[in-house]
Structure 1
Amino acid sequence: MSEHIDGTLSSQLEPALYRRAPYLLPGEPEDLFAGGGEMGAHMRAFDWAATSLGPVEGWSQSLRSAVSICLTSRFPILIYGGPELLVIYNDAFIPYFGRKHPELALGRPGREAWPEIWHIIGPMLEGVLATGRATWADDLMLAINRNGYLEETYRTFSYSPIGIEAGRVEGVFNAVNFTTERVIGERRLHTLRQLAEHVSESRTPEAACRQVARTFAANPADVPFALLYQWDEPHAQATLVGSAGLETDVDASRWPLAQVAATGRMEVLTDVHARFGALPGGPWDESPHTAVLLPISQPGQKVPYGVLVAGVSPRRALDDSYRSFFEMAAGHVASAVANAQAYEAERRRAEQLAELERATQDALRREQRYAAELEAKQRLLDAVLQQMPAGVIISEPSGRMTFFNHQQEELVRGPMHRANSVAEYTGFHGFHPDGRPLQTEEWPLVRALLQGEVVTDQELLVERHDGERATVRVSASPVRDPEGRLIAGVAITRDVTRHKEQEAELRRRVEFEQQLIGIVSHDLRNPINAITLAAHALLRREELDARATKSASRILSSAERATRMIRDLLDFTQARLGGGISLERRPTDLRHLVDQVLDEVGVAWPERHLEVRQRGCTRGDWDSDRMAQVVSNLVTNALKYSPMDTPVSVELRGGDEAVELWVHNDGPPIPPELLPRLFEPLQRGTLQADRASRSIGLGLYIVKHLVEAHGGTVAARSGQGRGTTFTVRLPRSPGALAHH
């Protein structure tokens, strides 16, 4: 027996009560199911008398009304009727049962119709039956089997009691809004946005592919795994340049990469499991059975840079929207690669420009040595200068301009003023970087002509024909014949306006960030010191009880951690602002210092085992406080990133001129991609954030600067099965050998 919401008792185990409800209105079943479309027909043909609901004419008015609303609604509605929660649904709900419709759904108990999700929705439905209270969920993920496989779906729905006005719950009314396409669409759109945001960041195609792989790895639900191959068309060879979801590469020859590179079209493989066995399924337990291969190419590009291989979620069908997602993702990959290639081309062009400038200077000097060939070489020089990606002006000793190239006119955005003498150089409008007008005798070409001066990369502001000012760098040189007579002057002008704007913006950002860190770190010291002093004062008071002592100790511990973080930030700022970290050298025994540091560290890590070994003399002239900071950072780092049951070993090796400090732990290896950046600021030896210790990622950066301030070096080695070892090499004294 169970209790109604009005306090009366009823039986949940006697379905006959539902068939004998005395308040039902008369009527035939056909009247109830009229206008119900396909499901109305199915329900008229269904033998309800054989179920726990009993004949339709025995259904309560509440249940009949709910069924009528369900069948005539265009919104997906499902009703769970009776104590067995038998399934009734309308035409709009048919697609969501898939193959189960109608035999495995209509009139079946809910646990039989939805066995794969009953552990989720069953308790919710039974809660409505037991309490008479409605419940709901927003965008709930349910993996349903409607097409022969578990499918990732999302829905927003409510469960409302039916018949509660009669004193008992006769069923549950389920109104559903299927939000699968919206939820998955938003998730995929986020990935595409991330790809688009990183398009211009990478400087090489390989770096672009690695960034793309990291972006795919953040969405394993849609991209369980991804492989990015560079395609070598002449040799028909593929090189893996980026991967996500796979720890190791698979046999590239088993993918139809050559076919995709040749056709430029997407290929879909439906036998991935047969080809490669089980592959990562992202967040799902199943292995993908399908993968797509897309060319990494820009529109109109005949030979693609490479091929993207992406796994298809084992819980989603490869429909048009899924295909479109992969196609747009491949487009972003191609854009990132194209941008990186353009950057490389621009870099090479700049190198060629510098080389061409040097070649031009050599050519001018050769003209001085070979006066007899001046006319022929002048024609050759004119042809070369017209092709230079920089403005070039050549004048006679009087200042009369005899040559300027097209690039010079493009730089001033109009026709060049052809001066016939130095006096006519007043027709040019130039300014110093501080805005002062450039006098005639200050033009680099005039200085070369009148004073024989070689001017290199003088920075000026030039007023163009449209009134705008361009920042340029001008180099000028006199040209002399073999006898040393001045025969010409040449000026080369490069437009660096955009470069200067970018340089100024970067400098402003860096200076602001570094000064802000320094100011904040310095100003935080005073309140932290006050907190520390207050905590110490509290702990010295004898009348404190255990609880107050514990609180004061916790305050002191937090203040000390904040002090260490501020110290790291100040060291970081001092190092980045160029001042360097100051040292106070004095005779120090590194073994004695290591023992002291390990005693202090052991208090915080009482359960860990620390080992120390020494070979040779360990004395030298060092800043003992700073070296204690180095040892503490390295040992604490080793403890944090190694298993609790493994030791951390410290080894000291004394040589003739230097002492080496080795700190080793048996923890998991540092990812190879992190090793080159390990000693950079805000970096850690793991891809996961160190939330437990609230580390800000400056420890190893400061270790590097402290060691280098002593004239030493620090390096790290890490590998699978070999643990991680940091090696510090310290000269015993600056510029002197050790004295034993």
Structure 2
Amino acid sequence: MSEHIDGTLSSRLGPALYARAPYLRPGEPEDLFAGGGEMGAHMRAFDWSATSLGPVEGWSQSMRSAVSICLNSRFPILIYAGPELLVLYNDAFIPFFGRKHPGLALGRPGREAWPEVWHVIGPMLEGVLATGRATWADDLMLAIDRSGFLEETYRTFSYSPIGIETGRVEGVFNAVNFTTERIIGERRMNTLRQLAGHVSESRFPEEACRQAARTFAANPADVPFALMYQWDEPHAQATLVASAGIENEVDATRWPLAHVAATGRMEVLTDVRARFGDLPGGPWDESPHSAVVLPLSQPGHKVPYGMLVVGVSPRRALDDSYRSFFELAAGHVASAVANAWADEAERRYAAELEAKQRLLDAVLQQMPAGVIISEPSGRTAFCNHQQEELVRGPMHHANCVAEFTGFHGFHPDGRPLHPEEWPLARALLQGEVVKDQELTLERCDGERATVRVSASPVKDPEGHLIAGVAITRDVTQHKEQEAELHRRVEFEQQLIGIVSHDLRNPINAITLAAHTLLRNEGLDARATRSTSRILSSAERATRMIRDLLDFTQARLGGGISLERRPTDLRHLVDQVLDEVGVAWPERHLEVRQRGCTTGDWDSDRMAQVVSNLVTNALKYSPRDTPVRVELRGGDDTVELSVHNDGPPIPPDLLPRLFEPLQRGTPQVDRASRSIGLGLYIVKHLVEAHGGTVAAQSGQGGGTVFTVRLPRSPGALAHH
């Protein structure tokens, strides 16, 4: 038995091998492996009875047919047999197992033969076993270990069920087309095309190297890192010009740059890790073991411009095609560098002009407005990308003023804008300076935008017109915001009028009538209850009106007026709890005090704060739990806390709790007809006093609202 260079067994197996394999002999009528070449001999010599497949004579006809097709095909075919997915394959598949052939592959479960890729192909194979449906993949990348390292390979393959006609899947038939050379070849050819197309356009040697670095960076699988050095022959020194894939500059003296400069030939280093430690491996986790140093020189030039150092992919062998790729890449870079070097003086002058143009373009492109520059005739000379974004499409380039009809514009009153009425046309035709003319512009998508255009003629030192420039700003959103603000102010002003007059006056009349009826001693019990309900509803409506007025005042930014006077917060809390207790007779209210609780506050407004907080606590807590109010006096401040043992406030609601029209839970607030302004008004009343209010809520701890008030204006800030 002989062995190929790649480690595979030859197909010339002598009789001695058959003598050691009594399971089947060639030439027998039922010799399943006849005509199978080297793999047929290996399968014949394999003791299948020791596997889950059992003796060959027990294999089903479907499995036998699949194996026969596999062995007699010149196309790479692999079979996964039985529940363990044991591996069988033909001669065409041998090179793709490499060092695993045959001992680590033939007859082994698939997960043992392909441990490095089983996480990819295992689920696909098991899916075929489970469902009986075939699957496939095109140009799938699999990193296989066939030569002692993980190797980047590609394949197009199908997984087809074997024995499906028997009612169960006995295995998977795997036909494979290995596309590695094509995929990698196309990738490298694309890199070379990019180098040829882009690097050759460079104006300076350094620019060519930087462009090459960008091109190499786009293909990290073949170029994990690249370093380009400029070589100073008189001083034997190298200067790094450009790099790709590597951030920290490595010690240039450790590369054989001087040797490559002297010989003009490629140098291969196989001890890169020993020299530099771990270096970038491109898309792979491993560090490259090898690197190549090539001269950047042209025929006829004794001294190269510099050297190109490139890393070799840790998942590809440095074969002839890989070497050729590096040589061609270095040739493209060297050619571009030589051309740029030869015309350096001319390019420098052109580059200075181009630098000025780039500066102007950069300024115009980065302006936060659309810019159009026209020649005196009206021919468009320049427009920036903001102008194209403004019109939502490609900019119409006019050849004269009469062609300013490329876009439709309108005056604020809706009249169409004629070509000579555009601000830029007025600047060109009349020498007029136009400032912030408001127009309506029809975009490419049909939508309209409100814009403000400024235009001006540009003249040379002699006063001759040389250009016109127009600057356009999109103010659509600003105008919409102004309109929305105007509508909101109008609405809120109307709301104040409605609430203060059209609602409050009739409710005051209802309240007065209800009080008058209650003073009538002739009312029976039923009438008294009805009148009391009317009075209660009217008072609730009055509170809602007060909340709406406070809300509107706060939203309009006018603030809430206060009438400060000396107030004992404990006395005020007791009064509020007495009033609230009438409406909630079944609930238990507790008050605790620590320290002095007096200060200069608006007692009516603070009663409103306490009432809102306590009523909220009662609404959102179980009936059999108390609501606790705690007062703590400090040096300059007094704290008021209202605690309830209800369920926690949802975390997503907690940050928005003090915003208008927010409610704790929809069920509670529908029952109480809350409009969701209470906490919003509490916040504004507390802040009007110079204080703060905050809420804490959590599972098992209930909810606590804490108000912190300065005893007098400015005291909290001082504290």
Specify the structure having the higher radius of gyration (Cα): 2
- TM-score, length of structure 1 as denominator length: 0.47
- TM-score, length of structure 2 as denominator length: 0.48
